[in-house]
Structures are given as structure tokens and as C-alpha cells.
Amino acid sequence: MKAFTIIVSGLLLSITQTFAQKGVEDGSKYGHGEDSIRCLKNLSLYTELVKQELYDDAYPYWQIAFNECPLSTRRLYTDGVDIISYKLENASEEAQKDELFNKLMNVYDQRMKYFGDHSRYGIPYIKGIKAIDMLKYRKDDPEIRKEAYQLLSDAVNNDGAKYQPAAYALFLTTSIAMLNDGELSSEEVVSNYITITEKVNEHLEDPNMEKYNDIYTKLSGQVEDLFASSGAADCETLDKIFSPQLEEHKNDLEWLQKVSRLLAKGLCEDMELLYKVSEYQYEIEPSSSAAYGLARMYIKSGDTQRAISYFKEAIEMEKNDIQKAEFYYQLGLIHLAEKNYIAARSNALKAADINPEWGKPYILIGKAYAASANSIGENEFEHKTAYWAAVDKFKRAKAIDPKTADEANELINTYSSHFPKTEEIFFQGLEEGGAYTVGGWIGERTTVRSR
């Protein structure tokens, strides 16, 4: 009888313990007995408060559910991110911010532990969204950036960014930041860029991803622009990466287009790679970047007329306004070298009209005015008035585009010394500060000035 009592007591104790176990202890969704009731109660309470965006009120109930029934629902983690992010963004003390940031990271880690095997939103996906929040709140911390970079790398390479496109863009921007910090090489950034573009293209070709096409099409252009301006896309690095791949991809239009766009954006004008890529590409399908490459090739060979023809084709086919402005500008430079000053100004003005904050087209026009000075008017004084118009353009350039200031100031100093002397102005019946119309092809009103 005593033995039976001991056995029964042990069995009752075992049953009681089983029913008292929390979900975190035995792997069940809600736990058992009173603990399951407690779990469901807190889940219900915090969920209703989250719906009303009462995140501070929801937090204590959510925290109980998070700690005691972590297998209950995936929403526990998405709601947890919303709750803690709200509190983090509204925290005033650094210590509190640090504590909340660490809790936010723990939400992602616990989600990986209990829901990491999800077919779509598994560990690679969670790593991507964790990295996004790491950089959102701690982007200036080099160690956090390194950790986030590795998470993003894992996410991108294991399809974790597929349903979170921002991870692709952030992976590239983080790569560029680490390049600037000396943590990554240009080749590594190029490799990451290639991986991203290949993944994005896969998604665009996947019929199951069709509803995301607009997002990924826009992302593709943004990624390319980011990379082109990154500093990693220098001509030497591009040549080192892509030249060995050329023959393998000479019939791959998509690859050729990508490389030619990068070379064009990097102004890699006199590279054998550009010429070969452009020829292969143009044979398959004429495009703006292919025409540009051929234009540069003919400039190098001295066939200016064919270069001009291909530049016009490049301009006609180009859809990116900034790139189109660059092509107009380069065409203007060719005309300037050919002493076709009217055509040089015409193309420079088109470039300026497309990109009104760019000063270099006005530098070009000013140089055209100065170069044609001896053809303006019928005497030495009238020749010199061209320099007034030229200096006006140099001043306009630096006023709208500070990056041109050094070159503009140097040109202003040079050509101001060619202004007429005070006595020359007097003998012409003019006054300094007065209005004057420069003759010839220039035909612009300017201000009378002495050297």
C-alpha cells in the first residue's frame, strides 16, 4: 500500500508538472494548464492593443507571451519588432535605447530559433530584416556594420532577400561603405554587385514573382546607379573583372548591356574592353551604350564624322537624362575640337537644359566663345568683347555647380586679362558697367568691363 501511494503520488506530481509547463519549456505552442491560459490571455491582450497602436500598453503583455510561449505564432515576432521599434524611436536616454536595441536583436534571434525553418520566411530572410534594423539604428557603429554586412551577405546568397528587396540595396550600400572604410576591396564590391544583379534578374524572370516586377525593375536601376557612383566601378577594376569574361559572354546581350552601361557611366572611354563589348552588343541589338562605345572607338581612330554619327544614335536611344546630358556634352566637345562653335554651343545648351545644375556645359560654351574671339567683329576691340561673353559663362558655371569653381576661376583669370583697357572702352564711346551686345555668332548681351 505504501509503495502504491508513492507511485500514485509520483504520477500525480508528474501530471501536475506536465500541465504546469510553459511552452518555452516543452516546445508546445501555448504550454499546458494554467500556463496555456496565461499565454493565450497575454497574446489576446497585447494583440488588441497593437491593433490600436498602443505599443507602450501592449509591451508588458507581449513580453510575457514572448518569454513563455515563443512557438505560439510568427506574428509574435513581427508585432514585437513594431512594439520595440516604437519604444526605441521614442526613448530619450541612451541606456534605454541600448537596452531596447538589444531586445530588438533578441526578437530576431528567437524568431530564427523557433521559426527559422519557415519555407519562405526562414533564417536567411530573418537575417536580412535583422540587418536592416541593425543599420537603421546603429549604422555609424563599424562593428555593427560588419555584422550586418555578413547577415546581408548570407541573406542575399541564400534567397533571403527575395521577399525583402531592400536587403539587396542595403547589401550594396553597406559594401560601398566598407570599401570606403578600407574593410572591402573594389573587387569584392564588384563581386557583390554581380551577385545582386544576377539575383534581381532571376526574380524578374521568375513567373511566380511577376507581381513584384515593378519593384525589381526599379531596384535594378537603383543598384546600377549606386554601383556606378561607388568608386569601386573604376575603369581598371571593371577591366580586371569583366575582360576575362568577355569571350564567354560575347553573345549574351544582357551581360554586354550591363558592362557597357557601367563603362559608359565610369567614362571608361579609351578601353579595349569598351570597344569589344560595344561591337558585340551592337551586332546583336543596337543600344545607347553600344553606340557610345563605338563613338569613343572612332574618336580614338580619328574618324570624327563616324564618332559624331554614333553619338547622335546614343543620344536618341538613351533614356537616362543624366547620361543623355553627358552624351550631348561630349558631342559638344567634339564640335569644339572641330572648331564648329555653333554646334558646340547647341549641344552644350541641350546638356544644360537636361541637367540644369551641371556647370560643365557652360564651361564648354565659354571656351567656344573665347576660341572664336578673333572672328567676332571687324577690329581688335570687337574681338575682345567675346571674352566678356566667355567670362559670363564661366561665372554661370561656378554659380550653379560648385564642383566647377576651380576650373571656372582659372579660366576667368585667364580671359579677364584679355578684356579691353579702360581707354579702349572710352574711345568706343562706352562706359564700364554698361550693356553691350557681342556680335557675330555669339549674339549675346553682356556687361562692359576693363581688364
Q: What pLDDT is stored for residue 257 in this prediction?
A: 84
Neighbour count for residue 285 (Cβ, 10 Å): 10
Q: What pLDDT is stored for residue 27 in this prediction?
A: 58
Q: How confident is the model at residue 22 (pLDDT cuts 50, 70, 90)?
A: low
Max mean pLDDT among 2-11, 23-32, 411-420 falls in 411-420
Q: How confident is the model at residue 133 (pLDDT cuts 50, 70, 90)?
A: very high
Instruction: Report the predicted TM-score, pTM, of the whole model to 2 decimal places.
Output: 0.58
pLDDT at residue 3 tops 50: no
Q: How confident is the model at residue 286 (pLDDT cuts 50, 70, 90)?
A: confident
pLDDT at residue 153 tops 70: yes
Amino acid in the structure at residue 208: N
User: pLDDT > 90: what percent of the chain?
Assistant: 59
Max mean pLDDT among 197-206, 235-244, 288-297, 389-398 falls in 389-398
- Please state the rounded mean pLDDT for residues 286-301: 86
- Please state the rounded mean pLDDT for residues 151-169: 89
Q: What pLDDT is stored for residue 12 in this prediction?
A: 29
pLDDT digits (tens, 9 = 90+) for 346-396: 999 999 999 999 999 999 999 999 999 999 999 999 999 999 999 999 999
Q: Are 419 and 450 in contact (CB under 8 A)?
A: yes
Q: What pLDDT is stored for residue 293 in this prediction?
A: 85
> Is the Cα torsion angle 49, 54, 59, 60 positive or negative in sign?
negative
Q: What pLDDT is stored for residue 339 in this prediction?
A: 96
Q: Please name which of 332, 369, 335, 334 lies closest in space to residue 352, comparing C-alpha atoms.
A: 332
- Please state the rounded mean pLDDT for residues 238-262: 87
Rounded CA separation 27/18 (Å): 12
**DSSP labels, 323-337:** HHHHHHHHHHHHHHH
Look at 142 and 31; give whichever has higher pLDDT: 142
Q: Are 49 and 57 in contact (CB under 8 A)?
A: yes
Q: Are 395 and 372 in contact (CB under 8 A)?
A: no
Q: What pLDDT is stored for residue 43 in this prediction?
A: 93
pLDDT at residue 309 tops 50: yes
pLDDT digits (tens, 9 = 90+) for 88-104: 999 999 999 999 999 99
Range with the lowest mean pLDDT among 45-54, 256-265, 344-353? 256-265
Rounded CA separation 290/293 (Å): 5
pLDDT at residue 25 tops 70: no
Q: Domain limits of the chain?
A: 29-115
Q: What pLDDT is stored for residue 24 in this prediction?
A: 57
**DSSP labels, 251-277:** T-HHHHHHHHHHHHHTT-TT-HHHHHH
Q: Are 335 and 343 in contact (CB under 8 A)?
A: yes
Q: How confident is the model at residue 26 (pLDDT cuts 50, 70, 90)?
A: low
Cell of 212: 513584384
Q: Please name which of 328, 428, 345 lies closest in space to residue 385, comparing C-alpha atoms.
A: 428
Q: What pLDDT is stored for residue 31 in this prediction?
A: 58
Rounded CA separation 52/42 (Å): 16
Task: Enumerate the β-bridge partners of residue 102.
Answer: none
Q: What pLDDT is stored for residue 333 in this prediction?
A: 96
Task: Enumerate the β-bridge partners of residue 30.
Answer: none
Q: Are 373 and 383 in contact (CB under 8 A)?
A: yes
pLDDT at residue 13 tops 70: no
Task: Report which DSSP code applies to 163.
Answer: T
Rounded CA separation 175/238 (Å): 16
Q: What pLDDT is stored for residue 383 in this prediction?
A: 96
Rounded CA separation 241/273 (Å): 11
pLDDT averaged over every residue in the chain: 88
Give the SS3 label for residue 437.
Answer: strand
- Please state the rounded mean pLDDT for residues 415-437: 95
Cell of 245: 569574361
Could you write out the three-class secondary structure of 384-403? HHHHHHHHHHHHHHHHHCHH
Instruction: Please count the helices (runs of H) and the strands (runs of E) in the chain.
Output: 22, 2
Q: Where are the alpha helices (DSSP H) in 206-250?
A: 213-228, 235-242
Q: What pLDDT is stored for residue 20 in this prediction?
A: 40
Rounded CA separation 186/285 (Å): 30
The angle at the Cα of 410, spanning 408 to 416, to the nearest 5 degrees, equals 95
**DSSP labels, 105-116:** HHHHHHHHHHHT
- Please state the rounded mean pLDDT for residues 325-347: 96
- What CATH topology corresponds to 29-115? Methane Monooxygenase Hydroxylase; Chain G, domain 1 (1.20.58)
pLDDT at residue 159 tops 90: no
pLDDT at residue 155 tops 60: yes
The angle at the Cα of 159, spanning 158 to 163, to the nearest 5 degrees, equals 150
Q: Within the chain, what is the greatest distance between any pair of CA atoms?
A: 136
User: pLDDT > 70: what percent of the chain?
Assistant: 92
Classify strands 435-437 and 445-447 as parallel, antiparallel or unpaired: antiparallel
pLDDT at residue 6 tops 70: no
Give the SS3 label for residue 141.
Answer: coil
Rounded CA separation 87/137 (Å): 13
- Please state the rounded mean pLDDT for residues 135-163: 90
Look at 349 and 193; give whichever has higher pLDDT: 349
Give the SS3 label for residue 447.
Answer: strand
Q: How confident is the model at residue 294 (pLDDT cuts 50, 70, 90)?
A: confident
Mark 268-279 as b/e (b = at least 16 C-beta within 10 Å): bbebebbbbbbe
